[in-house]
Each structure stands twice: as structure tokens, then as C-alpha cells.
Amino acid sequence: MTDHTPEPWLATAVKDKHSDLGPAFWLIDAVPQPNQETAVAELCAKPGDRSEANAKRIVACVNACAGIPTEQLKAGSVRGLLDAIDKKLVTEERGYLEDALAPFQKD
């Protein structure tokens, strides 16, 4: 069991009933669950601001990290794993390209 609101989360635009300028704010919440009465977060929105992109990014990050303990995220262990994978892929790609170009190189 986690201390935070369980995933998945979603972002919903909440319209201002007195304006046609777009959403008044973005509501970040979990998929409806029993006994849950409050939102996780609200982002105020102004025309042309980044509230929509920010709300969607927050939700995407939380959902992508589902099942990873917060302590591991804070410690950076996930970043270290991703960096190691990236380094291995780059090394493999470099070797592949060197092999492919070898016949065209002058000795």
C-alpha cells in the first residue's frame, strides 16, 4: 500500500461557466474510487499559459512511475538504470555502424 493516491491519474479541464476563454483550471485526480472526495491537485489556467501541458505531464509521469516506490524515485535509482540502458544502446549502435562502414574505409 502506498501513501499517495493510487494510479491511474487523469487531468480534466474544468470550464468557467462565465467565460468562453477556455478552462478555468485543470483538475488532477485519480480515476474515481470509492470514498475519495478530494482532488489530488488543481492548476489554475489562463489563456495561453502552460497549465494544460503541465497537468498532462504530471499525470503522465505519475502513471509511468506506477509501482515504483517513491523512495527509489527520490534516490535517483530509476535515472541510473535509464542512463545505463541508454549507454548500452549507444555502444551497441556504435558497433553496428562501425561494422557497416568498415568495407568503405581506407586502410
Question: What is the C-alpha to C-alpha distance for residues 43 and 26, in angstroms, rounded to an integer?
Answer: 5
**Residue found under cell 472526495:** 37
Look at 98 and 34; give whichever has higher pLDDT.
98
pLDDT above 80 for 32: no
- 74-89, pLDDT tens digit by residue? 888 888 878 878 888 8
Listed in order, strand segments (DSSP E) in 40-107 are 41-44
Tell me the pLDDT tens digit for each residue of 33-66.
656 667 889 988 888 899 999 999 999 999 998 8
0.85 exceeded by pTM: no
